[in-house]
Structure 1
Amino acid sequence: MTEGTVLHADLDAFYASVEQRDDPALRGRPVIVGGGVVLAASYEAKARGVRTAMGGRQALQVCPDAIVVPARFNAYTEASRAVFDVFHDTTPLVEGISIDEAFLEVGGLRRIRGAPSTIATQLRADVRDRVGLPISVGVARTKYLAKVASAVSKPEGMLVVPVEQELTFLHALPVERLWGVGKVTSAKLREARLTTVGDVAEMFEGELVQLLGPGAGRHLHALAHNRDPRPVQTGKRRGSMGAQHAMGRGDHSPADLDLVLLTLVDRVTRRMRAAGRTGSTVTIRLRFGDFTRSTSSHTLARPTAHTVTVLEVARQLLASRAGVIKDKGITLVGVSVGSLDDQPAQLALPLDVTSGAELDDAIDAVRDKFGSTALRRAVQLGRSDPVAAPHLPD
């Protein structure tokens, strides 16, 4: 059998696994990271019905004996760096996708390291031995199929998809395994009696375009035939950084929304400053009570990582949707800063905002030394952190 040379390595229940690694009393127990909204859940909790982004109360209803722990982002960042050190010791061709997953190209290592499956087996052992975390790895010819294989192999598994069998493997999977197939697209496909990837592959591209539109139709037609020419890219940096918070149903006052917005912006801009990056496009993403969504953006004249600057833009964008929020309610708020660059922050603003870069630096220094909750802004005093999800997918 011919093996593909792309590995997709994905840490299992990453945040929860770090907590179980660092506290032996949590091992084998249902663990939930985050309070208001589930940020991560151990596989023991997932087996009981707990899911990421589920409300905290709902999670405890389905799993009353779950142990809830606060998020420790510094610990997760440190663990991620250690895992990526293992990746880079395995191959120089590493493309990080997020804090807990990456693609690795191992095609040039056969003579010195063996077959891709051998390399993947050793990679899993190295991550376990050196970092103490479980990881799943998929091995395939394309990035898409390698990612699917790692997902199918979870938890803590490995799956090799031979080139000769890739379509047999792929076509037996449910349509939800295709990238880009969420609830809405899944419902459209299943309504058309397309339940497996093989069903999609049998459709003409034009039929899928008619059903889903040109973008989604062509995209899914290509994936259903495992056409994914993207190589593993090294040195690729994130184009944006963001955070989101699922608020749940119910009434949310303007003060509640502003607190959520402040907490999200504070977290995003701190991450940007820690990475030495600035950005110029501020975007807010909203999900309303009727499950419709809205995205709006504003581009600044100069890039910045200044908390107050980004917050004022985000507030203006949120205010422009106040009528819709009042009519429909709101269940999710997301903030991201895009067009990231490595330029130093510019404080000249198109808005009437006073400079506070020195304050940002001071707050960052205190939090780096004493923890993220050591210093809070006045509006946050006496109120728990409403945000449990630190990252908004780009």
Structure 2
Amino acid sequence: MMRKIIHVDMDAFYAAVEQRDHPHLRGKPVAVGGSSQRGVVATASYEARPFGVRSAMPSWQAIRRCPDLIFVKPRFEVYRAVSQQIRAIFHEAADLVEPLSLDEAYLDVTNDKWQLGSATLVAQEVKRRIHETTGLTASAGVSYNKFLAKIASDQRKPNGLFVITPPEAESFLEALPVEKFHGIGKVTAARLHQMNLRTGADLKACTEADLTRWFGKVGKFYYQIVRGVDERPVNPNRIRKSVGAERTFSQNLTQLEAMKEVLGQLAERIEDHLQAKEATVGGGRTLTLKVRYGDFTQLTRSFTDTTPLHTAAAIAQAGVRLLQEVDLQERDVRLLGLSVSNLVSEASALPEDQPTPGTQLVLPFLKASG
């Protein structure tokens, strides 16, 4: 039986919560994050985006692009509480729910719990209940696998619903620009453009051997997804080798304080994902810091403790300690990343000894949510 998959993504989640709770912010450009010269935008409202304000952008640059931008400090405890309300709706709709973060999840509705007759109707009802319960909007994508559902949810944001049926998938993917493929980042997209590969049709014309030679193992992934092939199940209990978040900066960082702020936000993202796994993961004993300099050289630093790290505060504090061991003199930083590994079960507090192959997760930090 062909699967019926829904990908649900809340629209500008953090900013939308702030606008909901503070009526004077509604209809105005809002950024959640630090407003200082060394601050960074976490999420921008849709009113701010036409000015070019995006997540991971330095605050000074955001203000330059949008002088009327209103900065709001993040309230992660509130976002988590709202996320629990949303997740309860997901579980009403589906037995198989795979949370990706506080504001995003896959649902397998092949088994139609609500007996509505179609995944599209289920997605509409999920969106309706989310709005009724939280006052927030979500966008949803519907298709027969996770990859296509993920792409579909981005097509009509905000408050959108987009369906990719099996007969439509081939032509849709052939017309899609390569930079719109989930799993192809900016660097890879630029490389593909240099190779005159600009659309799915261009990518599809390449052999699997060529893509593997050019891009390594991920080349096989590209070969499959451009053909709409993705056999990954929606797995609510997947055990991961590590959970991490990283951010590439639009402008390289040079100030230690700005880097510390970024590490704090990366730590929040990691905690979000650990909590999204509910009772399956209680933290990790090993923390790894990744630093990529402006010249693209890269280093990592890590340490292991007997006490699992599971809160944002503990992860951030440990990350700052590792950062202080790194040579930052007269060097600018292009990317920072944190990950926790040597994961432990919350129930047993013992290392997970049977990780699923290939399950390292690195979250592109604070996507322009929604």
Residue 161 (structure 1) aligns with: 164
Residue 91 (structure 1) aligns with: 94
1:209 alignment partner, SS class: helix
Shift of 1:250: 5.8
Residue 308 (structure 2) aligns with: 304
Question: For the residues of structure 1 that align with 2:304 and 2:150, how far apart are their CA atoms?
Answer: 34
Question: For the residues of structure 1 that align with 2:75 and 2:14, how far apart are their CA atoms?
Answer: 8
TM-score (norm: length of structure 2):
0.81
Structure 1 residues 1-394: aligned runs within 5 Å: 5-35=4-34, 36-109=39-112, 112-212=115-215, 214-236=216-238, 240-242=242-244, 249=252, 251-252=254-255, 256=257, 263=264, 277-300=282-305, 302-305=306-309, 314=319, 317-318=322-323, 321-322=326-327, 325-326=328-329, 328-342=331-345
Question: For the residues of structure 2 that align with 1:281 and 1:328, how far apart are their CA atoms?
Answer: 27
Question: For the residues of structure 2 that align with 1:9 and 1:157, how far apart are their CA atoms?
Answer: 10
Shift of 1:208: 1.3
1:94 alignment partner, SS class: strand
Distance 1:224 1:245, change over 3 A: closer
Shift of 1:328: 3.2
Question: For the residues of structure 2 that align with 1:270 and 1:158, how far apart are their CA atoms?
Answer: 29
Question: For the residues of structure 2 that align with 1:101 and 1:129, how far apart are their CA atoms?
Answer: 18
Distance 1:171 1:264, change over 3 A: closer
Question: For the residues of structure 2 that align with 1:153 and 1:238, how far apart are their CA atoms?
Answer: 31
Which amino acid is the alignment partner of residue 11 of structure 2? D
Which amino acid is the alignment partner of residue 287 of structure 1? R
1:139 alignment partner, SS class: strand
Question: For the residues of structure 1 that align with 2:182 and 2:205, how far apart are their CA atoms?
Answer: 18
Contact persistence 1:178–1:220 (CA under 8 A): no
Which amino acid is the alignment partner of residue 79 of structure 2? Y
Question: For the residues of structure 2 that align with 1:309 and 1:17, how far apart are their CA atoms?
Answer: 28
TM-score (norm: length of structure 1):
0.76
Contact persistence 1:171–1:201 (CA under 8 A): yes
Contact persistence 2:260–2:320 (CA under 8 A): no
Shift of 1:289: 2.4
Question: For the residues of structure 1 that align with 2:212 and 2:244, how far apart are their CA atoms?
Answer: 31
Distance 1:17 1:292, change over 3 A: farther
1:222 alignment partner, SS class: helix
Question: For the residues of structure 1 that align with 2:314 and 2:69, how far apart are their CA atoms?
Answer: 40
Which amino acid is the alignment partner of residue 132 of structure 1? G
1:328 alignment partner, SS class: coil
1:126 alignment partner, SS class: helix
Shift of 1:265: 9.2
Question: For the residues of structure 1 that align with 2:297 and 2:319, how far apart are their CA atoms?
Answer: 20
Question: For the residues of structure 2 that align with 1:128 and 1:312, how far apart are their CA atoms?
Answer: 36
Aligned residue pair count: 342
Distance 1:142 1:263, change over 3 A: closer
Contact persistence 1:95–1:232 (CA under 8 A): yes
Runs of 5+ unmatched residues, structure 2: 351-364
- Which protein is richer in strand relative to its size? 2
2:64 alignment partner, SS class: helix
2:286 alignment partner, SS class: strand
Shift of 1:264: 6.6
Contact persistence 1:32–1:38 (CA under 8 A): yes
Question: For the residues of structure 1 that align with 2:164 and 2:269, how far apart are their CA atoms?
Answer: 38
Shift of 1:48: 1.5
Shift of 1:44: 0.9
Question: For the residues of structure 2 that align with 1:270 and 1:165, how far apart are their CA atoms?
Answer: 38
Question: For the residues of structure 1 that align with 2:94 and 2:124, how far apart are their CA atoms?
Answer: 14
- Which protein is richer in helix relative to its size? 1
Select between 335-344 and 94-103 the one with higher mean Cα deviation. 335-344
Shift of 1:342: 2.9
Distance 1:313 1:135, change over 3 A: closer
Shift of 1:234: 2.0
Question: For the residues of structure 2 that align with 1:266 and 1:195, how far apart are their CA atoms?
Answer: 35
- 1:211-262 deviation per Cα after TM superposition (whole angstroms, max 9, x unaligned): 22x2121111111111110111123366545566778546435xx4895598
Task: Say which structure, 1 or 2, has more relative contact order (CA 8 Å, 6+ apart).
Answer: 2
Contact persistence 1:5–1:107 (CA under 8 A): yes
Contact persistence 1:194–1:200 (CA under 8 A): yes
Which amino acid is the alignment partner of residue 70 of structure 1? K
Distance 1:18 1:237, change over 3 A: farther
Question: For the residues of structure 2 that align with 1:203 and 1:25, how far apart are their CA atoms?
Answer: 52
Distance 1:179 1:306, change over 3 A: closer
- 1:7-62 deviation per Cα after TM superposition (whole angstroms, max 9, x unaligned): 00000111011111111221111111112100000011012110110000100111
Contact persistence 2:267–2:338 (CA under 8 A): no
Which amino acid is the alignment partner of residue 43 of structure 1? Y
Which amino acid is the alignment partner of residue 72 of structure 1? R
Based on CA coordinates, which of the two structures has the bigger radius of gyration? Answer: 1
Select between 236-245 and 224-233 the one with higher mean Cα deviation. 236-245
Runs of 5+ unmatched residues, structure 1: 347-388
Distance 1:233 1:133, change over 3 A: same
Contact persistence 1:6–1:107 (CA under 8 A): yes
2:131 alignment partner, SS class: helix
